[in-house]
């Protein structure tokens, strides 16, 4: 068993590491200042400028297939990259990406939605959650009724990431209430100018999701993504596209936080000694480092399974659950080590504290991951012996 990175993986990882240090981290104070004034951390123009800089070195569409101009990188490489990006809270991501389910769109839809999204000219959002249907997505009530060659959509979606900025949405609606998720849910590509409205939702983090309102929104049949009635499978495909990437980003955040804790512990003197000399502090640092290491291997193991074409869903749930729980414990310890300063807005610790909390909620809460993991074990789909058997 060889746990080392290939030369190419190392070089790619190191390039991203340098890019984050050189181009992203210097923006952190500005981002904090702006966010605290209620403004976006970085403007769209600044984001595009950074993305263009990265593109000069080939970093564009890291998981986008090469035939669409992307890098088509492996899951393992992408996880390594996400961990590096996670070392800063600046909301940067590489350009050239699009939602996985848009790649299965028809040729016309690809021209209208996929290609402009990859090019950064259009912004999409994925809308399944409703006020009455979150963890239980099968309870969605947004409806679509056929009217000639069109469909009329009615309902409300909530907590939709990019819902304020998106100019089109991939929205899931019930087209056959009798069939429900077994053939009665359809995905529609709906432009904002077809008539849906968005209302921003204020959250404890810097993510600004939105509610989307559909009131008699008329959508032509050609805007159905995939087949009528096959929407729920597409939703699951979207959600399952890269659950391992969420905890991958948390690895970088936790590394950075623990580095801050170590630095602070060495410099902060109480009762005549640096707090780094105290066992209470050392144990918090030690436990955090052990958990980061464990998380790294859980994420890489899930990514390895994705690359190998093995059914990786269980491994991804394990990594997502562990990452959410441990990242929150780690940021809490790091805040504790910083004492009162940790609680202030002078340091980014509280920023991370708020952001990492989301990891335990979106794209499957902790409880839903545990439910999946337990079910897999109880039904015998997987064994406690793990992937190696």
Nearest distance in Å: CB 363, ligand FAD: 6
From 213, 368, 382, 387, residue interacting with ligand FAD (rule: CB under 6 A): 368
- Give the integer Cα–Cα distance in Å for 118 and 100: 11
CB 235 within 8 A of CB 185: yes
Q: Tell me whether residue 363 is one of the annotated catalytic residues.
A: yes
- Contacts with ligand FAD by CB under 6 A: the residue count is 20
Among 59, 92, 113, 126, binds ligand FAD (CB under 6 A): 126
Q: Does 361 participate in binding ligand FAD (rule CB under 6 A)?
A: yes
Long-range contacts of 7-14 (CB under 8 A, 24+ apart): 9/76, 9/77, 9/80, 12/73, 12/77, 12/80, 12/81, 13/77, 13/80, 13/81, 13/84
Distance, CA of 147 to CA of 149 (rounded, Å): 6
With binding defined as CB under 6 A, does residue 199 bind ligand FAD?
A: no
Which of the 8 DSSP states describes residue 383?
-
User: Does the protein bind ligand FAD through residue 244 (CB under 6 A)?
Assistant: no
Which residue stretch of 46-54, 103-111, 157-165, 373-381 sits at the interface with ligand FAD (rule: CB under 6 A)? Answer: 157-165
Task: Please give the residues from 277 up to 296 whose contact with ligand FAD meets the rule CB under 6 A.
Answer: none
Per CB under 6 A, which of residues 129..148 are in contact with ligand FAD? 129, 134-135
Identify the residue among 80, 128, 185, 187 touching ligand FAD (CB under 6 A): 128
| Comparison of 5 and 368: residue with beta carbon closer to ligand FAD | 368
How many Cβ atoms from other residues are within 10 Å of residue 142's Cβ?
A: 21
Residue 362 in contact with ligand FAD, rule: CB under 6 A:
yes
* Terminal-residue alpha carbon distance, the chain: 15
Using CB under 6 A, pick the residue from 161, 164, 230, 336 that binds ligand FAD: 161
- CB closer to ligand FAD, 55 vs 141: 141
DSSP per-residue letters across 199-258: EE---SSS---EEEEEEEEEEEGGGEESSTTBHHHHHHHHHTT-TTHHHHHHHHHHHHHH
CA 253, 209, 176, 188: dihedral to nearest 10 degrees? -90
Given the rule CB under 6 A, which residues bind ligand FAD? 126-129, 134-135, 159-161, 203, 207, 209, 358, 361-363, 365, 367-368, 371
Catalytic residue numbers?
363
């Amino acid at each position: 068993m060889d746990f080392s990175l290939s030369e190419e993986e190392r070089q790619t990882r190191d390039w991203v590491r340098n890019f984050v240090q050189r181009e992203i981290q210097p923006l952190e104070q500005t981002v904090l200042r702006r966010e605290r004034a209620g403004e976006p951390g970085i403007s769209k123009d600044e984001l595009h400028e950074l993305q263009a800089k990265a593109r000069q070195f080939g970093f564009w569409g890291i998981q986008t297939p090469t035939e669409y101009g992307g890098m088509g990188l492996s899951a393992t490489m992408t996880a390594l990259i996400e961990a590096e990006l996670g070392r800063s809270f600046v909301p940067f991501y590489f350009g050239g990406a699009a939602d996985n389910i848009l790649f299965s769109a028809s040729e016309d839809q690809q021209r209208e939605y996929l290609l402009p999204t990859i090019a950064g000219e259009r912004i999409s959002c994925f809308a399944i959650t409703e006020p009455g249907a979150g963890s239980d997505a099968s309870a969605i009530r947004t409806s679509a009724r056929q009217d000639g060659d069109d469909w009329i959509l009615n309902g409300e979606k909530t907590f939709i990431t990019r819902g304020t900025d998106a100019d089109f949405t991939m929205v899931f609606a019930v087209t056959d209430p009798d069939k429900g998720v077994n053939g009665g849910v359809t995905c529609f590509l709906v432009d904002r100018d077809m008539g849906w409205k968005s209302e921003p939702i204020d959250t404890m983090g810097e993510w600004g999701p939105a509610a989307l309102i559909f009131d008699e929104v008329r959508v032509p049949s050609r805007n159905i993504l995939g087949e009528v009635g096959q929407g729920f499978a597409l939703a699951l495909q979207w959600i399952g596209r890269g659950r391992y990437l969420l905890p991958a980003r948390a690895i970088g955040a936790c590394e950075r936080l623990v580095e801050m804790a170590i630095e602070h512990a060495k410099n902060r003197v109480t009762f005549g000694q640096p707090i780094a000399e105290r066992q209470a502090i050392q144990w918090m640092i030690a436990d955090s480092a052990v958990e980061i290491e464990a998380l790294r291997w859980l994420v890489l193991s899930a990514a390895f399974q994705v690359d190998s074409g093995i059914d990786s869903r269980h491994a991804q749930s394990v990594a997502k659950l562990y990452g959410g729980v441990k990242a929150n414990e780690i940021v809490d310890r790091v805040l504790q080590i910083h004492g009162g300063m940790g609680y202030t807005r002078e340091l980014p610790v509280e920023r991370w504290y708020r952001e990492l909390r989301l990891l335990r909620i979106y794209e499957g809460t902790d409880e839903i991951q545990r439910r999946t993991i337990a079910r897999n074990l109880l039904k015998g789909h997987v064994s406690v012996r793990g992937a190696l058997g």
